[in-house]
Amino acid sequence: MNGTLYLVPNTLDFGVTTELPPLSDDLPMGVLRIAARLTHWVAENAKTTRAFLKRVNAVVPLSQPLQAIGIVELPRPQKGTKNPQAGAEVESLLSPALAGHDVGLISEAGLPAVADPGALLVDAAHRRGIKVVPLPGASSLMLALAASGLNGQSFAFVGYLPVEATERTARIRELEALSRRASQTQLIIETPYRNEPMLDALLAALAPSTRLSVSCGLSLPQGWTRTDTVAGWRARRSAVPKDIPAVFALLA
């Protein structure tokens, strides 16, 4: 019989340099027990997965020594190109599951395959008849949406916007028009060091009455969410750190 592919959530404190709390503060004990027994992993990053498993071990002892646990990384096609080998490479990562072993899929932060790599592996598992089990954990997108007070009945995650200023402005106005037409919240993410330029671009391009929400460092002690009209943001600007992830949401 095939093993199971477990989608294992990670915490949202990736890259934080302060002392981290026990994983049991952020993840259910049931998740930690499953993670502790898995000996095969597919990861966005092997180094951060080893760090995650060390934190698991501090709460629930691992079933095998860390050095005996297999961790392989997802293939990374170059940006803007399609990797013709990606399908075959991803299929090969399921070999342990096809041999009867349970496998964990994990990203650097949040839920795997949501705004992170991994969907190809999950799709391949379905095609091979491998059971897929998502485990509960935090998603920065859902936390930001819940905290925003914007429309949670109709929303869209649009990912990253263009870096080039003219293209980015055009995309922001396109999303605002879509939001106004459908009364739909638009969720945007950005690389942390470009948080401030993203906020600048949103405040410059959006209409004064459009509501804009920014959530920063969710689940961290210093985390916060602010929702206001664009006019309100312009009148009282809040600084967004350049080293902590943020989620931007707008509703026209």
What digits encode the pLDDT tens for the residues 186-212? Answer: 999 999 999 999 999 999 999 999 999
The dihedrals phi and psi of 120, each to the nearest 5 degrees, come to: -60, -40
Q: Minimal CA–CA distance to 60: which of 101, 102, 24, 26? A: 24
Q: What is the CATH number of the domain that holds 227?
A: 3.30.950.10
User: How would you class 107 by CB atoms within 10 Å of its CB: exposed for 0-12, middle for 13-18, buried for 19 or more?
Assistant: buried
Going by the DSSP 8-state scheme, the letter that residue 131 receives in this structure is E
DSSP bridge partners of 133: 6
Domain of 49 in residue numbering reads as 4-134
The pLDDT of residue 116 is: 84
- Contact assessment for residue 162 and residue 168, using Cβ atoms and an 8 Å cutoff: yes
> 151-199 pLDDT, tens per residue?
999 999 999 999 999 999 999 999 999 999 999 999 999 999 999 999 9
**Cα–Cα dist 114/108, whole Å:** 11
pLDDT > 50? residue 123: yes
Q: Could you tell me the CA-to-CA distances from 11 to 27, 111, 139, 204 in Å, in that order?
A: 7, 9, 9, 33
- As given in the structure block, the two tokens for residue 96 are 């342990």
pLDDT > 50? residue 111: yes
Among 134, 158, 190, give the residue marking a domain's end.
Answer: 134
Indicate if 41 and 160 belong to the same structural domain.
no
Task: State the pLDDT confidence band at 76, using cuts at 50, 70 and 90.
Answer: confident
- As given in the structure block, the two tokens for residue 214 are 């920014």
Q: What is the CATH number of the domain that holds 24?
A: 3.40.1010.10
Task: State the pLDDT confidence band at 128, using cuts at 50, 70 and 90.
Answer: very high
The pLDDT of residue 29 is: 96
Indicate if 91 and 26 belong to the same structural domain.
yes
The pLDDT of residue 18 is: 65
The number of domains in the chain is 2
Indicate if 130 and 8 belong to the same structural domain.
yes
Indicate if 47 and 128 belong to the same structural domain.
yes
Please indicate whether residue 40 or residue 20 has the higher confidence score (pLDDT): 40
Indicate if 183 and 214 belong to the same structural domain.
yes
- As given in the structure block, the two tokens for residue 203 are 């405040």
One-letter amino acid at 218 equals: L
Per-chain mean pLDDT for the chain? 92
- Contact assessment for residue 98 and residue 131, using Cβ atoms and an 8 Å cutoff: no
pLDDT > 70? residue 4: yes
Q: Could you give the percent of the chain with pLDDT greater than 90?
A: 83
Q: Minimal CA–CA distance to 108: which of 57, 164, 26, 43? A: 43
- As given in the structure block, the two tokens for residue 22 are 């026990």
Indicate if 17 and 123 belong to the same structural domain.
yes
Average of per-residue pLDDT across 217-240? 94
Q: Minimal CA–CA distance to 236: which of 203, 198, 189, 209? A: 203
DSSP bridge partners of 7: 105, 134
The pLDDT of residue 84 is: 46
- pTM of the entire predicted model: 0.89
* CA atoms 103, 108, 110, 112: torsion sign: negative
One-letter amino acid at 132 equals: V
**Cα–Cα dist 90/114, whole Å:** 17
The pLDDT of residue 79 is: 56
* DSSP string for residues in 60-78: S--SS-GGGSEEEEPP-PP
Cα Rg of the chain, angstroms: 20
> 207-228 pLDDT, tens per residue?
999 999 999 999 888 899 999 9
Q: Could you tell me the CA-to-CA distances from 214 to 63, 186, 195, 198, 244 in Å, in that order?
A: 41, 12, 10, 11, 12
